[in-house]
Structure 1
Amino acid sequence: MTAYSVGLLILRVVLGLTMAAHGYNKFFGGGRIKGTAGWFDSIGMRPGVFHARVAASTEVAAGLGLAVGLLTPVPAAGFVALMLVAAWTVHRHNGFFIVKEGWEYNLVLAAAAVAIAATGAGKFSLDYALFHGTSVFGWLHGWCGLLIAVVLGLAGGIGQLAIFYRPPTKV
């Protein structure tokens, strides 16, 4: 057991469970899917019910996937896509800093997930348990992991924005 392996485990679990909690909250917290859908409609992501379900499901799946370290670049790509859409639709007009509801937090979550995809999930992960010693393992970290996370994440986020985002009109 090394500090490196434990450090990756801590980062993965905290980052992943934080994201999964956001998804859980969309499903079961306050306004649930209906309330989240109304909010999505109000920010220009229509149809709101569709986006509420997609966002909540992606947050839970990407969060849990990263937390357990399963096919790590794929959940990392989910983080990138989610944070890109959130930064663009909600936070970009507020500047960088989170204290003014800027996109700082979105950047940190996406960058941390990409960094984990680049380093690999570590020895205490399902990637290591299932794929160490196989050819698949090479795709789950290093440049391959980083590129999968960034390219797939950007494609997902940009695609969703291009297809569905319609900025709300100011009244």
Structure 2
Amino acid sequence: MTAYDVGVLILRVVLGLTMAAHGYNKFFGPGGLKGTAGWFDSMGMKPGMFHARVAATTEMAAGIGLAVGLLTPIPAAGFVALMLVAAWTVHKPNGFFIVKEGWEYNLVLAAVAVGIATIGAGKLSLDHLLFSSSSFYDLLHGWWGLVISLGLGLLGGIGQLAIFYRPPAKTDA
């Protein structure tokens, strides 16, 4: 075990459990799925209940998957898709900086997830434990990790926006 492996473990666990907590909050926080669904409907992600379930499940699965380092590029792709949709539907009108509720935080979460998929989950991961002795392991880091996490993530996020997102009409008050 090296400092590198511990460093990647820290990044994976903090990033993953942070995302999983967001999913948990959508399921069980104030308002629960019903409140999340209403919020999604109001921003143009319809049907809201469908998207509340998809978002909460993806946040929990991607978060836990990244935290334990299991098939790392796949949960990282979930981060990219989730953060792209959140940045586009919620934060884009507010600009870049998070202090004005901009999309800065979304970018950082997605970029760190892709970075982890690119460098690999490290020796303290299920990827290493389960796959390090097989050629499949090569698909879980390096250029393949980058291509899989970024490609699938962008495809998923753009696809979801193209199919489901209908921004509400602006009204002059």
TM-score above 0.5, yes or no:
yes
Report the Cα distance in structure 2 between the residues aligned to 1:20 and 1:145, rounded to whole angstroms.
21
Partner deviation per Cα, 1:6-48 (whole Å, 9 max, x = no partner): 0000000000000000000000000100000000001000000
User: What percent identity do the matched residue pairs reach?
Assistant: 79
Task: Write the deviation string for residues 56-96 of structure 1: whole angstroms up to 9, x where unpaired.
Answer: 00000000000000000000000000000000000011000
**Uncovered stretches (5+) of structure 1, i.e. residues with no partner:** none
Q: 1:46: which partner in 2? A: 46
1:170: how far off?
1.7
Give the distance between the partners of 1:155 and 1:42, measured in 2 at CA. 24
Whether 1:83 aligns to 2:94 is no
| Aligned equivalents of 1:50, 1:133: Cα separation in 2 | 40
Matches within 5 A, 1:26-105: 26-105=26-105
State the one-letter code of the partner of 1:72: T
TM-score (norm 2): 0.98
Cross-structure match for 1:12: 12
Separation in 1, partners of 2:50, 2:120: 32
Aligned to 2:132: 132
**By how many angstroms is 1:133 displaced?**
1.7
Q: Give the length in aligned residue pairs.
A: 171
Structure 1 residue runs of 4 or more that deviate by more than 2 Å after TM superposition: none
**SS of the residue aligned with 1:102?**
coil
Q: Which runs of 5+ in 2 are unaligned?
A: none
For the aligned residue pairs, the C-alpha RMSD in angstroms reads: 0.4
